[in-house]
Amino acid sequence: MKKKKLNVLLAKTEALSKRWKDSLADYTKYFKGNQGAFKGIQKTYTPKDESVIIDPKNIGTTYVVTTVDEKFDYFKSSNEEYINALFSQEKTNSMGVAVAELIVEGKSWGTFSSLELLRLKSLIENQALKNMCSSIPVRSDARLWEESNNETYASREVFETTLSKFPDKTTVIENYILIDPNIGKSESYSPEPVTGKRNTTVELGVKTVQEFSGEWSHVKRAGLLKKLDVLRVSVIEALKEANNCEVVESELTAEKLFNHLLG
């Protein structure tokens, strides 16, 4: 197989770096400004009879447009080439430079040059990456969520609340004539009728409400931020143990990075 030229690799890395920076900025903006895209709700109303007028606010469906995992699937595919090119460049530049084994949470990722490790350290300490991760939409802890079995969201990471069902009632005001105890006691007694009002509660139908979410849990987002910090510490430790290495294709791939952070 024909080996890649370093100048080609450098050009590719430079060309793709803008896409990476733009992706971080775009995703941060989307997560902050489009949280409604990750939420869904379904309302139904069953009238008791045909005479009941259905209030439009009691019916309707808003679908989950996207999920956090779906957004990150595209994020990974869009930036995989850049990450791989980035570390292959550093691996090539590291000929005769220090190398070390990178151990993350007790698992070896492979042996990397000091330049690769420095590049990884710079990558994960990037404030834009931290901002994006901190901006991931999360579900409310005030409600109970379960994986949705709604066929609309089949095979998607969508969660749902319990279907709430409750009657829709209204109060009907009825006028009626009060009984006058003096009527009939005198032929000349002819009073004006006195009316009263009584309230009657009438059930109109049944309303249901159920919420849906393509967001992450608070625990999952916190776990991602912890993984970033664990990786940062591991890189610092590896840099201290660095030794020389040959020029080879980098084992520090986008797949490993994204699987650790987003898997």
How confident is the prediction along the chain (263 residues), in pLDDT tens digits per residue?
A: 566 666 777 788 888 999 999 999 999 999 999 999 999 999 999 998 888 888 999 999 999 999 999 999 999 999 999 998 888 877 776 665 567 899 999 999 998 887 888 889 999 999 999 999 999 999 999 999 999 999 999 999 999 999 999 999 998 888 877 776 666 566 565 667 777 788 888 888 999 999 999 999 999 999 999 999 999 999 999 987 764 333 346 778 889 999 999 98
Which residues, in sequence order, are bridge partners of residue 205? 47, 168
Could you count the other beta carbons within 10 Å of the beta carbon of residue 132? 21
Does 190 reside within a domain?
A: no
- Straight-line distance from the first to the last Cα atom of the chain, in angstroms, rounded to the nearest whole number: 32
Q: How many CA atoms lie within 13 A of 162 on its CB side?
A: 5
Name the residue range of residue 87's domain.
Answer: 6-167+209-262
| Token pair for 26 | 């775009």
Number of domains the chain is built from: 1
Q: Closest by alpha carbon to 139, among 258, 226, 220?
A: 220
Does 117 reside within a domain?
A: yes
CA separation for the pair 19, 101 (Å, rounded):
30
Does 222 reside within a domain?
A: yes
